[in-house]
Amino acid sequence: MIQEFKSEMLTAFEMTDLGEMSYFLGMEISQSQKGIFICQRKYAYEILKIFSMENSKPIGTPLCQILKLCKDDKSDKVDVGIYRSLIGCLLYLTSTRLDLTFAASLLSRFMNSPSVTHFQAAKRVLRYLRGSMDHGIMFKKVDKMELIGYTDSYWVGSIDDMRSTYGFFLYNWVCPGLSRYCVMESGCVASLYYARLRNLKWA
């Protein structure tokens, strides 16, 4: 089927067959019998070099679990352009690094007036990236399609508006999502229950 389609395209358009895709828009693509693996290893290393973090000490998590960020944290302000550039790089990395989605989303809320605290949190993400540059997405070859979903919730994660954040992921659809909501839950368990209901709506 693929060869037939390629022959028709070569007949209709002037084009060259470059073989299997291995690199596209900063994404490295590796194809094998097991499936297709996509990562942004080179792009991640370039980000580390730009922000002088290529020799930083790796860390196991992108964010500090007990840290609660807010817009007005009383710490000194940092250069808006540099902070926005860093967050933009992290957001582009989420194309293949779903483990960075929440951190990038959270830190992007402070792009209008970033502080030293926000910038330090962003640099922590780079330290996590330093130790996980080989991570990516593996599209495995399977004989049976099975829909599997995961969800989690960050109860009242935003101090500024007291909103919770929920995230979900549906396998086979490769459908990640992250959203904030303002339902006033009675606790963390209620927040998780709400997140799972939202995930079921997508499924």
Rounded distance between C-alpha atoms, residue 111 and residue 35, angstroms: 38
Q: Is the pLDDT reported for residue 43 higher than 50?
A: yes
- CA 29 to chain CA mean position, Å: 17
Q: How confident is the model at residue 185 (pLDDT cuts 50, 70, 90)?
A: very low
Q: How confident is the model at residue 184 (pLDDT cuts 50, 70, 90)?
A: very low
Q: Which residues contact 153 (CB under 8 A, 6 or more apart)?
A: 164, 165, 166, 167, 188, 191, 192, 194, 195
Share of the chain above pLDDT 70, in %: 74
Q: How confident is the model at residue 181 (pLDDT cuts 50, 70, 90)?
A: very low
pLDDT at residue 143, rounded to an integer = 78
- 199 exposure class (CB count in 10 Å sphere: 0-12, 13-18, 19+): buried
Encode pLDDT of 99-152 as tens digits: 998 899 889 999 999 999 999 999 999 999 999 999 998 888 777 777 777 776
| Model pTM above 0.85 | no
Q: How confident is the model at residue 200 (pLDDT cuts 50, 70, 90)?
A: low
Rounded distance between C-alpha atoms, residue 143 and residue 160, angstroms: 47
pLDDT at residue 18, rounded to an integer = 77
Mean pLDDT of 54-83: 90
Comparison of pLDDT for 158 and 94, the residue scoring more: 94
Encode pLDDT of 90-110 as tens digits: 999 998 998 998 899 889 999
Q: Which residues contact 32 (CB under 8 A, 6 or more apart)?
A: none
Rounded distance between C-alpha atoms, residue 101 and residue 105, angstroms: 6
